[in-house]
Amino acid sequence: MLQVISLMSAPQGQQGGIMSFLPLIAIVVVFYFFMIRPQMKKAKDQKKYIEALKKGDKILTIGGIYGKINEIREDGSIVMEVEDGSKMRISKNAVSMDATTTINQNS
């Protein structure tokens, strides 16, 4: 009788080992869905936006400079015009976001 009870308790001990890793697995899954996945989506959207830039688009740089694209060069740089008419050459990667609505509100 004791042997039957000891044999029945062995699989439960193995399940207890798997069950102890369940919270760790749940934390990894939650971390992926709330932190990693949205960050990857945001980076993908930013890359699409940078690739779709064209002459005449109003942009905001990472440094906080508003401007309008005058020229897009093959070397990955942009010539943009700022408010006073001066031109700046920046990297495409320095473009933060579309600034059309912000510039129109301030004008």
**pLDDT one-digit tens code per residue, 9-61:** 445 445 567 788 888 999 999 999 999 999 999 999 999 999 999 999 999 99
| The predicted structure's pLDDT at residue 97 | 79
**pLDDT one-digit tens code per residue, 41-54:** 999 999 999 999 99
DSSP H helix total and E strand total for the chain: 3, 5
Q: What is the pTM of this model?
A: 0.64
- The tokens describing 23, both together, are 């919270």
Domain ranges of the chain: 1-52, 54-106
Residues 6+ apart with CB under 8 A from 99: 58, 59, 60, 66
Which residue from 85, 79, 47, 82 is spatially nearest to 65, judged by alpha carbons? Answer: 82
Rounded to the nearest angstrom, the gap between the alpha carbon of residue 4 and the centroid of all alpha carbons in its chain is 56
Assess if CATH 1.10.1740.10 describes domain 54-106. no
Instruction: Count the helix, strand and coil residues of the chain and give each as a percent rounded to the nearest 5.
Output: 55, 25, 20
Residue 53, number of CB atoms within 10 A of its CB:
15
Query: 3-state DSSP call for residue 91?
Result: strand
| The predicted structure's pLDDT at residue 17 | 74
**What percent of the chain lies above the pLDDT cut of 90?**
57
Strand runs labelled E in 1-107? 58-61, 66-72, 77-81, 87-91, 95-98
